[in-house]
Amino acid sequence: MDNASIKKLADTAVSVLDLVPILQGKTAADSFKNSLDLAQQVERFGFNRYWLAEHHNMPGIASSATAVLIGYIAGGTSRIRVGSGGVMLPNHAPLIVAEQFGTLESLYPGRIDLGLGRAPGTDQMTAMALRRDQRAADTDFPENLAELMHYLNPKEQTKVKAVPGEGLNIPVWLLGSSTYSAQLAAILGLPFAFASHFAPQSLHFALKLYRENFKPSEYLQEPYAMVGVNVVAADTDDEARRLATTLYTSFLNVIRGTARQMQPPTDDLESLWDASEKYAVQQMLRYAFIGSPETVKTGLEEFISITQADELMVTSHIYDHKARVHSYEILGEMCRRQS
Residue type, 129: A
Q: How far apart are CA 284 and CA 302, in angstroms?
A: 19
Q: How many residues does the chain have?
A: 339
How does residue 184 score in pLDDT terms, banded at 50, 70 and 90?
Answer: very high
- Over range 66-89, report the average pLDDT: 97
Domains in the chain: ranges and CATH: 3-338 (3.20.20.30)
Query: Who wins on pLDDT, 197 or 123?
Result: 197
- The residue among 81, 93, 91 whose CA lies nearest residue 126 is 91
For 24-46, what is each residue's pLDDT tens digit?
999 999 999 999 999 999 999 99
At residue 128 the predicted structure's pLDDT band, cuts being 50, 70 and 90, is low
Q: Are 16 and 226 spatial neighbours (Cβ–Cβ below 8 Å)?
A: no
pLDDT digits (tens, 9 = 90+) for 137-167: 557 899 999 999 999 987 767 789 999 999 9
Measure the CA–CA gap between 101 and 96, rounded to whole angstroms. Answer: 9
So what's the pLDDT on residue 1? Answer: 42
Question: What's this model's pTM, rounded to 2 decimal places?
Answer: 0.93
Which tens digit of pLDDT belongs to each residue from 284-303? 999 999 999 999 999 999 99
185's CB contacts (< 8 A; 6+ apart) are 173, 174, 176, 191, 192, 210, 214
What is residue 143's three-state secondary structure?
helix
| Strand duo 172-176 + 13-18: pairing | unpaired
**Alpha-carbon gap, residue 301 to 265, rounded angstroms:** 27
Contact at 8 Å (CB) between 48 and 15? yes
Residue 5's pLDDT is 41
Give percent of the chain above pLDDT 90: 83
Pure H helices in the chain:
3-11, 28-45, 66-75, 94-107, 124-129, 137-152, 180-188, 203-213, 237-243, 245-256, 275-284, 293-307, 321-338
* List of residues 6+ apart from 279 with CB closer than 8 A: none
pLDDT at 77 over 90: yes
Residue scoring higher pLDDT (134 or 14):
14
Q: Which of 50-59, 119-128, 214-223, 318-327 has the lowest mean pLDDT?
A: 119-128
Average pLDDT over residues 189-207: 96
* Helices 66-75 and 28-45, axial angle in degrees (round to 10): 50
Q: 78-116 pLDDT, tens per residue?
A: 999 999 999 999 999 999 999 999 999 999 999 999 999
What does the pLDDT read at residue 133? Answer: 60
In this model, does residue 10 exceed pLDDT 80? no
Of 228, 230, 232, 284, nearest to 256 (Cα)? 284
Q: Going by DSSP bridges, is the β-strand pair 13-18/81-88 parallel, antiparallel, or unpaired?
A: unpaired
Average pLDDT over residues 206-223: 97
DSSP designation for 14: E
pLDDT band at 129 (very low <50, low <70, confident <90, very high): low
Q: How confident is the model at residue 335 (pLDDT cuts 50, 70, 90)?
A: confident
At residue 224 the predicted structure's pLDDT band, cuts being 50, 70 and 90, is very high
Phi, psi of 102 (to 5 degrees): -65, -40
Percent of the chain surpassing pLDDT 70: 91
pLDDT at 119 exceeding the cut of 80: no
What is the Cα–Cα distance from 173 to 241, expressed in whole angstroms?
Answer: 33
Task: Report the chain's mean pLDDT, rounded to a whole number.
Answer: 92
Contact present, 78 and 35 (Cβ < 8 Å):
no
Number of Cβ within a 10 Å radius of residue 1: 11
